[in-house]
Amino acid sequence: MYKQILFSLCAVAFLACNRTKTVSTEKAETGVCPQITNIQARCSTSLDGEWNYIVDIYGAGYLDYRRNPVSVKNSFFRDRGFYGHQKELIEYDFDAAPTLHVPGDWNTQKPELYYYEGTVWYRTLFHQKKKPGCRYFLYFGAVNYEAVVGLNGEVLGKHTGGYTPFNFEVTGKLADEKNSLVVLVDNARRFENVPTVNFDWWNYGGITRSVLLVETPETFIRDYCVQLKKDDPGIISGWIQLDGPDAEQQVCVDIPELEAGVQVRTDANGYARFEFAASPELWSPESPKLYSVAVSSESDRVEDRIGFRSIETRGTQVLLNGKPVILRGVSVHEESPFGAGGRATNKEDAVQTLQWAKDMNCNFVRLAHYPHNETMVRTAEEMGLMVWSEIPVYWTIDWKNPETYANAENQLVENITRDRNRANIVIWSVANETPVEAEGRLEFLSSLMGKARSLDDTRLVSAAMEKKALGGGRMTVNDPELVKIADLISFNQYVGWYDGDADKCDTITWEFDVEKPVFISEFGGGALAGRHGDRTERFTEEYLEYLYQKNVDMLSRIPGFAGCSPWILKDFRSPRRMLPGIQDDYNRKGLVSEKGVKKSAYFVMQDWYSSLKK
């Protein structure tokens, strides 16, 4: 649909090009600029707040009655409106339209949009007094799923993917007075998308993360990497990337607390590598030390808080800062901790969610099944929680479609670009529960793992795989070829829920042909908080508690066990969960209810993790 729309609206040549282009070429052609990192440290103006919206079920804002694309001047991007032009035939008006809060999803803000999937137009007005010698960018934390962005009647371009940031340069496009920013959002599920049409969480539509107008010097520090050098904890290394006409500059990295730093000169492309000796206190869950780091050039300066640590495997052990560690984790969805659900949007949401994990004696969270917002990652870093970060290559997608792969790789690149300086991220995950037998799937996932390592060789790379029965109560991981490529034997298993009853856990033994750490990325079952009965009755707290007791005993017997992240910390919305009176559109596998009530199984994990700390 968008191919025709954008070809007419902005005559962008990429829509006529071969769809097998590389990610970097794709970015340039969609109008999206290279990502600006550490956005919180930039000079910016928030555009969050109440935006007018128009639900457009039939695409009337960009298609005529024959389903042909209309011109920009006749589209909703023009932002004219009937009440200002009553003598013309205009059948929309943003000024008279209702509002949605940004950031946020439309599903939980408006009851009539609870199940809605499709196109919605957003519009906000803002003023910006332009400064000479400055550049301006529109930055979106995330829009689910596709966003076509227009400013003052001109289409800037399109971004695809619902959980990663993107930005457009608007330096020459800002008006001196009032500016109209229009975003066409489409969260319709499609087979070729990542994720595809079938997934087990709510498809929250809308501008779900903050929107900023960012101001920079003409030549600015767009991106940088500062971390411990791989295999040498006495060296801090990395690189700096400038963006602008004055590419060759002296640049400096300074860590005042360590009395350490370096000065180097960027090349003609604005790029420079560096390394220098330092002896930082290493970041860990017990001591989540972060240093103030200044990255400066002749024309710009950015400050960050960065931790330094190493993560690696040796045999069946995971080593954090050279010492064995058990990953005492839990899985988390990006939903608000209380109330009617909806996307988590602020630090208060992050603190409450992560405090439940900390109180359970966790040192690790699996942020499933897509990149969570940057505030969640940074808050976890401050609180001493290691992170598994994932992209939504989920269940069955279009493995042989080059466009689908390019989409997945782009989401991986945008995720790593945003978070590569966060010390707490220890695992990049490229998939969840994908079918081993699918043609093209192994090549797809191995390529993603290779891409992750090419961007960042200092972290572990894996995926959430599945189990396989060998007979006679013997179990293993059902992904021998991917296990060879991954750094962990990481898989989901639901013995006692989807596979037998809780007592079956007593009969299971686990065997593995590869000597790597074993991480159980999911296990558990469902219960409605406050529903009680016999421990054999499904969806009661008694059954879930017993199931967790049996799973804990079973996991403790796994050779090479290095940790786990039970599914899941909190009940979350999913339209796949339809059992009246119990599920009611909620996946009830949470250890905490959507109202914040801790189920009895929560305390089973709390006690077990307490024993693993000793």
Query: Which residues share a beta bridge with 46?
Result: 212
What CATH number does the domain containing 415 carry? 3.20.20.80
What CATH number does the domain containing 255 carry? 2.60.40.10
Q: Do 211 and 234 belong to one domain?
A: no
Does the residue 111 lie in any domain?
yes
Q: Do 85 and 181 belong to one domain?
A: yes
Copy the structure tokens of residue 318: 């995971």
Does the residue 303 lie in any domain?
no
| The predicted structure's pLDDT at residue 21 | 31
Name 454's Cβ contacts closer than 8 Å, sequence gap at least 6: none
Q: Do 85 and 230 belong to one domain?
A: no
Contact of 534 with 493, CB cutoff 8 Å: no
Q: For the residues 410-437, what does the mean pLDDT come to?
A: 98
Mean residue pLDDT across the chain: 94
Burial of 387 (0-12, 13-18, 19+ CB in 10 A): buried
Containing domain of residue 267, as a range? 220-298
Contact of 419 with 425, CB cutoff 8 Å: yes
pLDDT tens digits, 385-402:
999 999 999 999 999 999
The position carrying tokens 């490529």 is 485
DSSP for 89-118, please give it.
-----STTS-EEEESS-STTT-GGGTT--S
Number of C-alpha atoms within 13 angstroms, CB side, residue 50?
A: 5
Give whole-number Cα distances, 520 to 267, 423, 494, 541, 563, in Å: 45, 22, 10, 22, 7
Quote the CA–CA distance of 554 and 559 in Å, as a whole number.
Answer: 11
Contact of 594 with 586, CB cutoff 8 Å: yes
The position carrying tokens 């695992």 is 427
Say which amino acid occupies 330. Answer: V
Q: For the residues 258-278, what does the mean pLDDT come to?
A: 98
Q: For the residues 197-206, what does the mean pLDDT come to?
A: 97
Q: Do 76 and 8 belong to one domain?
A: yes
Q: For the residues 20-38, what does the mean pLDDT come to?
A: 62
Question: Residue 13 pLDDT > 60, yes or no?
Answer: no
For the stretch 532-557, what's the b/e string if a residue is b when 16 or more beta carbons lie within 10 angstroms of its beta carbon? eeeeeebbbbbbbbbbbbbbbebbee
Quote the CA–CA distance of 179 and 196 in Å, as a whole number.
Answer: 35
Q: Do 168 and 88 belong to one domain?
A: yes
Q: Do 16 and 28 belong to one domain?
A: yes
Quote the CA–CA distance of 359 and 462 in Å, as a whole number.
Answer: 27
Question: 339 falls in which pLDDT band (50, 70, 90)?
Answer: confident
pLDDT tens digits, 411-420:
999 999 999 9
Residue 298 backbone zone (phi > 0: left; psi -120 to 50: alpha; other: beta):
alpha
| The predicted structure's pLDDT at residue 20 | 27
Contact of 226 with 241, CB cutoff 8 Å: no
Domain count, the chain: 3
Q: Do 406 and 327 belong to one domain?
A: yes
Residue whose C-alpha is closest to residue 335's, from 40, 574, 46: 574
Q: Do 18 and 101 belong to one domain?
A: yes
Residue whose C-alpha is closest to residue 584's, from 599, 595, 598, 569: 595
Does the residue 413 lie in any domain?
yes
The three-class DSSP label of residue 436 is coil
The position carrying tokens 């039970």 is 566
Q: Do 18 and 94 belong to one domain?
A: yes
Does the residue 212 lie in any domain?
yes
Does the residue 536 lie in any domain?
no
Question: Residue 1 pLDDT > 80, yes or no?
Answer: no
| The predicted structure's pLDDT at residue 583 | 96
Quote the CA–CA distance of 370 and 378 in Å, as a whole number.
Answer: 16
| The predicted structure's pLDDT at residue 45 | 97
Angle at 563 between CA 500 and CA 593, to 5 degrees: 65
Copy the structure tokens of residue 460: 């572990």
Quote the CA–CA distance of 428 and 390 in Å, as a whole number.
Answer: 6
Q: What is the DSSP letter of 345?
A: -
Does the residue 551 lie in any domain?
no
| The predicted structure's pLDDT at residue 29 | 53
Does the residue 518 lie in any domain?
yes
Compute the CA torsion angle 189, 195, 199, 205 (nearest 10 deg).
Answer: -50
Quote the CA–CA distance of 231 and 240 in Å, as a whole number.
Answer: 21
Count, residues in the chain: 614
Residue whose C-alpha is closest to residue 293's, from 318, 276, 311: 276
| The predicted structure's pLDDT at residue 31 | 82
Q: Which of 192, 217, 242 is the last residue of a domain?
A: 217
pLDDT tens digits, 84-94:
888 888 899 99
Q: Which of 298, 331, 354 is the last residue of a domain?
A: 298
Q: Do 288 and 361 belong to one domain?
A: no
Name 112's Cβ contacts closer than 8 Å, sequence gap at least 6: none
pTM for this predicted structure: 0.94
Does the residue 552 lie in any domain?
no
Q: What is the DSSP letter of 350?
A: H
Q: Do 443 and 401 belong to one domain?
A: yes
Q: Do 246 and 284 belong to one domain?
A: yes
Residue 614: alpha-carbon gap to chain centroid: 33
Quote the CA–CA distance of 147 and 171 in Å, as a whole number.
Answer: 20
Q: Which of 269, 298, 327 is the last residue of a domain?
A: 298
What backbone phi and psi angles, to 5 degrees, belong to 355? -65, -35
Residue 61: alpha-carbon gap to chain centroid: 30
Query: Which residues share a beta bridge with 579?
Result: none
pLDDT tens digits, 32-58:
899 999 999 999 999 999 999 999 999
| The predicted structure's pLDDT at residue 114 | 97
Quote the CA–CA distance of 352 and 596 in Å, as a whole number.
Answer: 10
pLDDT tens digits, 523-564:
999 999 999 999 999 999 999 999 999 999 999 999 999 999
Compute the CA torsion angle 158, 161, 164, 166 (nearest 10 deg).
Answer: -10
